[in-house]
């Protein structure tokens, strides 16, 4: 598909159009690639040092997280792999209760990647970092032979300072705690699926990829240690996170199907494809387990934030059925929500 982000920074005039093996050699071509505008684009005092690593001033307990991004297609409605790579690590830090500060950025590029595509990814990385308020302080670029990658793989690692009132751990959750989801579920996964070869369908569904740190911070400012647990339900969706939590805490989780917020188009696509939205990947939402006394306040704060307008209490922690997630169906029945065995695969009929 066509690149989706408007170009604020036009691709500089270069004497190459595609990435070749030499751009990862560390030699002159690598220098040319970096000097082509990459450094200028991501410019800050740390990167300007052009050193092997960055020296970072940090206070108190530090959260540290890493993730790799291998999405196909790299451009999708609502974003691209660059934005995803920044938001992903920002969100992982936010889920620890931390305020994201610094990010590393490493590329594995496949020989033949078009420079204009790489440039657009870089521009989105810059925009996403600005939006999240995180500084990219160190990086790396490698190139692999054609056929040994999928255009572009990105790894980011981030560090952040713990929010002074945050106390996030599955050990803190108790029966009676409320489970809140910050927004509509399944949006990102369906946006990606709508673009996959062989599955293309017409839709305006766009990925919800977004930095959640500002929203999380406002919730922590208000609810502090009443927020017992935070997790962004990316791969495997809400169902997988809930199962992990039930397993770790040895408590039960009850969810109410009717309270799960979902966009109507996304719901329709799930029906058509035979997918359960509970297992579909998300990017711009998180799950919070909150002390019942503070649940309404936390919800109120979320709903005033642009990323939390669809926030909803979707269930609670129970002492019954320990280790299991049970869903009350829309018609009043009950069923277990299990781990998936593998990927969700479209069904036959």
Partner 1 sequence: MKFLSEYRDSALVKEYMDQLHKVVTRPWTIMEICGGQTHSLVKNGILEMLPKEITMVHGPGCPVCVTPLGIIDEAILLAQKPNVILCSFGDMLRVPGSVKSLLEVKAEGGDVRIVYSPLEAVKLAKENPDKEVVFFAVGFETTAPANALSLVQAEKEGVTNYSILASHVLVPPAMEAILSDPESRIDAFLAAGHVCTIMGMNEYDPIVAKYKVPVVVTGFEPVDLLQGILMAVQQLEKGEAKLENQYARVVTREGNALARSVMNDVFDVSDRAWRGIGTIPMSGLEVNHRFAAYNARNKFHLADTEVKENPDCISGAIMKGMKKPHQCPMFGTRCKPEHPLGAPMVSSEGACAAYYHYSRVPQEV
Query: Exactly one of 61, 225, 267, 297 binds partner 1 (CB under 8 A); which one?
Result: 267
148 counts as binding partner 1 under rule CB under 8 A: no
Among the listed residues 48, 46, 18, the one whose alpha carbon sits nearest the alpha carbon of residue 33: 18
C-beta of residue 337 within 8 angstroms of C-beta of residue 203: no
Q: Is 349 in the site for partner 1 (CB under 8 A)?
A: yes
Region near partner 1 per CB under 8 A, out of 228-236, 241-249, 284-292, 339-347: 339-347
Compute the distance between CA of residue 108 and CA of residue 191 in angstroms, rounded to an integer.
24
| 326 contacts partner 1 (rule: CB under 8 A) | yes
If the CB atoms of residues 47 and 325 are measured against partner 1, the closer one turns out to be 325
348 binds partner 1 (CB under 8 A): yes
Complete DSSP assignment for 173-184: --TTPEEEE-S-
Binding status of residue 304 toward partner 1 by CB under 8 A: no
Q: Interface with partner 1 by CB under 8 A: which range of 26-34, 58-66, 113-121, 319-327?
A: 319-327
55 binds partner 1 (CB under 8 A): no
Nearer to partner 1, 235 or 335 (CB): 335
Of 192, 47, 158, 71, nearest in space to 121 by CA: 71
User: Look-up: residue for tokens 């420079």?
Assistant: 115
DSSP-assigned states of every residue in 11-61: PPP-S-SB--GGGGSSSHHHHHHIIIIIHHHH--HHHHT--SS------SS
Encoded tokens for 142:
């490698």
**Nearest residue to 43 (alpha-carbon basis) of 119, 134, 120, 135:** 135
> According to the binding rule CB under 8 A, does residue 264 interact with partner 1?
yes
Q: Look-up: residue for tokens 């991501």? A: 42
**Least distance to partner 1, CB of residue 17, Å:** 26
Q: Is 250 in the site for partner 1 (CB under 8 A)?
A: no
What part of residues 198-217 is at the interface with partner 1 (CB under 8 A)? Answer: 198-199
DSSP letter assigned to residue 321 = S
Asked if 1 touches partner 1 (CB under 8 A), the answer is no
98-110 and 135-144: which strand pairing? Answer: parallel
330 binds partner 1 (CB under 8 A): yes
**Contact region with partner 1 (CB under 8 A), list: 90-98, 110-118, 202-210, 263-271:** 263-271
Q: What residue ranges bind partner 1 (CB under 8 A)?
A: 198-199, 264, 267-268, 271, 320-321, 324, 326, 328-338, 341-342, 345-349
């Amino acid at each position: 598909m066509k690149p989706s982000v408007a170009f604020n920074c036009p691709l500089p005039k270069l004497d190459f159009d595609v990435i070749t093996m030499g751009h990862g050699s560390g030699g002159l071509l690598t220098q040319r690639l970096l000097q082509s505008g990459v450094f200028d684009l991501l410019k800050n005092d740390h990167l300007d040092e052009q050193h092997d690593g960055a020296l970072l001033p940090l206070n108190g307990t530090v959260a540290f997280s890493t993730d790799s991004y291998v999405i196909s297609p790299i451009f999708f409605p609502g974003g691209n792999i660059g934005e995803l790579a920044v938001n992903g690590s920002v969100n992982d830090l936010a889920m620890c209760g931390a305020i994201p500060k610094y990010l590393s950025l490493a590329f594995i590029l496949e020989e033949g990647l078009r420079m204009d595509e790489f440039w657009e990814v870089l521009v989105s990385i810059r925009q996403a970092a600005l939006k999240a308020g995180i500084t990219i302080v160190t990086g790396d670029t490698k190139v692999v032979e054609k056929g040994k990658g999928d255009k572009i793989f990105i790894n980011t690692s981030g560090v952040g300072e713990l929010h002074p009132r945050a106390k996030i751990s599955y050990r803190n959750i108790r029966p009676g705690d409320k489970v809140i989801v910050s927004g509509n579920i399944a949006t990102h996964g369906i946006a990606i699926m709508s673009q996959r070869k062989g599955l293309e369908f017409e839709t305006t569904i766009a990925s919800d990829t977004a930095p959640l740190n500002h929203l999380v911070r406002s919730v922590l400012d208000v609810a502090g240690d009443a927020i017992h647990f935070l997790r962004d339900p990316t791969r495997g969706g809400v169902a997988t996170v809930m199962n992990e939590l039930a397993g770790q805490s040895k408590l039960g989780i009850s969810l109410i199907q009717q309270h799960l917020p979902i966009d109507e188009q996304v719901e329709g696509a799930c029906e058509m494809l035979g997918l359960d939205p509970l297992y579909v990947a998300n990017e711009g939402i998180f799950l919070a387990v909150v002390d019942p006394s503070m649940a309404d306040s936390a919800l109120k704060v979320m709903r005033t934030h642009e990323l939390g307008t669809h926030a909803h209490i979707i269930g609670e922690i129970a002492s019954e059925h320990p280790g299991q997630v049970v869903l009350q169906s829309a018609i009043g029945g009950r069923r277990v929500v299990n781990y998936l065995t593998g990927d969700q695969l479209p069904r036959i009929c």
